[in-house]
Structure 1
Amino acid sequence: MELGCRYWDSLRSAAARLSGAWSVVGKVLAGWRAGEVVGTRQASAQFLMWASHVHLRAGRLTAARSYAERSCRVLKLGVPGSNEQHTGGVLGVRCVRQLGSVAMWQGDWAVAERLLLEAKECAARSCGGDPIELASSYNQLGILYKFVSRFDDAADAYEKARERLTAARFEDHPMMAAVLHNLGGLAFSRGDYASGQVVAERSVRLRATFRRAGEPEIAADKAALGALLAQQGRLDEAARDFEIAMETYARLFGGNHPEWAVNANNLAVVEARRGNHARAEQLLNQALAVKEKALGPDTVDVATTLINLVDLHLLTGRMQQAKVLWEKAEAIAHRQTSPEHPINRAVSERRSKFTGL
């Protein structure tokens, strides 16, 4: 079964705060298009980038990319991904980095890498080597490289991010917590769960120095730590961390929040490993319903939970039901992602189960 833990802190922490703001964004966008919102190019680009974040968190990838591209055009950065030299300063770096992040979520790996490398070079060239912007760019590159299983490149990018923060004496900065969080994710992907637990716990402790218990960033760290504990067989501890995260998201955003569903999915995996199949199925169905409503039925997050339902149905001998769910997951994966995407690999690994059915 697939744990839905996503070590993409730069997206999670910002998006959790933006996810409830869509009605406001829609009204301001309407005014912006009508010419009612007047401001500098920088203000317009900042707003467009913010709108891109909201769309991305809601799973509307095409819209997220469109707004990110528009933010770059407003700053007259040229065509992102071209050979033009970008000189948009800090905001320009952030706009290009956002566009690279969206491309990553779309599975457009080559474009994502080119954009994120541009953002990194621009941070070094036009931001005076700002350690936060450089570290943020290296961190995002690390996320991309981990996602496409280039683990050595990911480790190098994360370490460069950490080096720049340490050299600038930003060991206690929120970006350092993000980098440590993502290093835990890299260890998770490599199967080095004990080492991942060490850095994940450091991230939890650091984050607690500038975030209060019950905030979404703390919940994200708890969820990440829970995934590492689950893979070490420490199921009770993992379940507790997932439950804390679920309680946090339910309290802050209601029980229909996508992050609540991600953690419900993960708790279901733990329950299945405990042998609590009925409880696991209940949680997966709840997670699926929330994801379909909040993100849409044709998203990668939905496919992840469908795959877990497939595994649960296979485990309990319900082959025909499993095949129907697998076909849905396969269709989503093929429409939404590249062949190299992890969800496509998960679908392919289960194809042989249904031969002859």
Structure 2
Amino acid sequence: MIFPLARKRRGRTRLRPGVREPNHLPRNPSDRAEEYRRRGLYQKAGQILLRLLSRAETAHNPHDLEIPSLLNRLGIVYKHLARYKEAERVYRRALVLARKLPDAAPGVIASLYHNLGGLEHARGRYSRGEPLARHAVRIREKALGPDHPMVAADRAALAAILDRRGKYPEAERLYRRALDCFRRVYGPRDYEVAVVLNNLGAVRAAQGDFAAAQRMYRRAIAIKEKVLGPNHPELATTLNNLAVLQGKQGKHQQAERTFLRAAAIFEKTLGRAHPSYLACRANHAGLVRTMKSTRKVAASTSRRRSRKHS
């Protein structure tokens, strides 16, 4: 199973190379929650966001974006933790609140449709996710114009869904447009570039262009290792995809090493019950079966040749 990464962030948070040490965590609780989310420490991020949400609800201002924004961020964390029903519940609640707000709300509404589409992508309900993702693109493009990087992020999220629906030409076109935008605005070694390279690699692999897919995966891995650190679940996602590709190329030993590295990261960061860990282990098990079958065929062929020449 290949894992394209749907876009899932409320907004743009600049990601710096490497992962800061725990004693350098931001003092502001909102910033600390974002830092934990960035590191893949989703449980800790969620705990802080729940406390912030409780405080905001106590001092509720009906014209304030704080509550829908916090709900949106909490939904992102729940999605990462595969708590999909809870994610949908908080996204839908945020959408109801945001629709009641004045002109400041379009960005939040676009982000919520973006994230609802990404949630359906994670659930494997791609036909439900496509109209949500298309709506996010329309709202944001109307508000910000066609060349804004947040519009590019919406296009990349839509492309991830189209990819899973087998609509490869449109998916690739959207990915490449987003990639051009991110490279122009953020530079060639940015996290957003890595995400799109991962997903574009999945599109190329699905169409049999293994050489191009491998180049994209390796470039994405190099960027993610530098930006996110060596033990982030999003790095493991691309490692899993590379391992799947290596298996298809017959590079079984390389694939096994890559699968084991990805599975170790998923287990450490997300736990053994998480769908990403389970899918990675299933992929590895499939590779092991293929390797055993290949060895049996090779041994049988060798015996036949030995009998023929004896």
* TMscore range, shorter length: 0.7 to 0.9
Please, which of 97, 108, 116 is the counterpart of residue 49 of structure 2?
116
Please, which of 166, 183, 193 is the counterpart of residue 233 of structure 1?
166
Q: Is the 8 A contact 1:108 1:338 kept in 2?
A: no
Question: Counterparts of 2:80 and 2:221 in 1: how far apart (Å)?
Answer: 23
Question: Counterparts of 1:127 and 1:174 in 2: how far apart (Å)?
Answer: 20
Residues 100 and 340 of structure 1: CA distance in aligned 2, closer, same or farther (over 3 Å) = farther
Question: Which range moved further: 310-319 or 114-123?
Answer: 114-123
Residues 116 and 196 of structure 1: CA distance in aligned 2, closer, same or farther (over 3 Å) = same
Q: Is the 8 A contact 2:242 2:255 kept in 1?
A: yes
Residues 69-218 of structure 1: pairs in structure 2 closer than 5 A: 70-71=27-28, 95=29, 97-104=30-37, 108-170=41-103, 173-218=106-151
Report Cα offsets for 1:238-284 as digits up to 9, x if no partner. 01111111111111222222211211111111111111112211221
Q: CA deviation at 1:4?
A: 3.8
Question: Counterparts of 1:296 and 1:188 in 2: how far apart (Å)?
Answer: 26
Corresponding letter in the other structure for 2:8: W
Residue of structure 2 in register with 1:258 after alignment? 191
Where relative contact order (Cα < 8 A, 6+ residues apart) is larger, the structure is 2
Q: Is the 8 A contact 2:81 2:270 kept in 1?
A: no
Q: Does 1:14 align with 2:12?
A: yes
Please, which of 67, 81, 89 is the counterpart of residue 25 of structure 2?
67
Q: CA deviation at 1:121?
A: 1.6
Residue of structure 1 in register with 2:297 after alignment? none
Residue of structure 1 in register with 2:307 after alignment? none
How many residue pairs were aligned? 290
Residue of structure 2 in register with 1:222 after alignment? 155
Corresponding letter in the other structure for 1:290: I
Residue of structure 2 in register with 1:333 after alignment? 266
Q: Does 1:354 align with 2:268?
A: no
Residues 59 and 272 of structure 1: CA distance in aligned 2, closer, same or farther (over 3 Å) = same
Residue of structure 1 in register with 2:298 after alignment? none
Could you say which structure has the larger radius of gyration?
A: 2
Q: CA deviation at 1:98?
A: 3.7
Residue of structure 2 in register with 1:86 after alignment? none
Corresponding letter in the other structure for 1:265: N
Question: Counterparts of 2:248 and 2:269 in 1: how far apart (Å)?
Answer: 27
Q: Is the 8 A contact 1:165 1:171 kept in 2?
A: no
Give percent identity, aligned residues only.
30
Q: Is the 8 A contact 1:59 1:299 kept in 2?
A: no
Report Cα offsets for 1:185-227 as digits up to 9, x if no partner. 1111222212211111111111012213222201110100001
Corresponding letter in the other structure for 1:153: E
Q: Is the 8 A contact 2:236 2:266 kept in 1?
A: yes
Corresponding letter in the other structure for 1:60: V
- Structure 2: tracts of 5 or more residues without a match: 293-310
Q: Is the 8 A contact 1:306 1:325 kept in 2?
A: yes
Question: Counterparts of 2:36 and 2:184 in 1: how far apart (Å)?
Answer: 32
Residue of structure 1 in register with 2:202 after alignment? 269
Question: Which range moved further: 311-320 or 211-220?
Answer: 211-220
Question: Counterparts of 2:92 and 2:125 in 1: how far apart (Å)?
Answer: 17
Residues 146 and 170 of structure 1: CA distance in aligned 2, closer, same or farther (over 3 Å) = farther
Q: CA deviation at 1:291?
A: 2.3
Q: Does 1:307 align with 2:266?
A: no
- Structure 1: tracts of 5 or more residues without a match: 20-53, 72-94
SS in 2 for 1:262: helix
TM-score relative to the length of structure 2? 0.83
Q: CA deviation at 1:171?
A: 8.4
Question: Counterparts of 2:260 and 2:44 in 1: how far apart (Å)?
Answer: 29
Q: CA deviation at 1:140?
A: 1.5
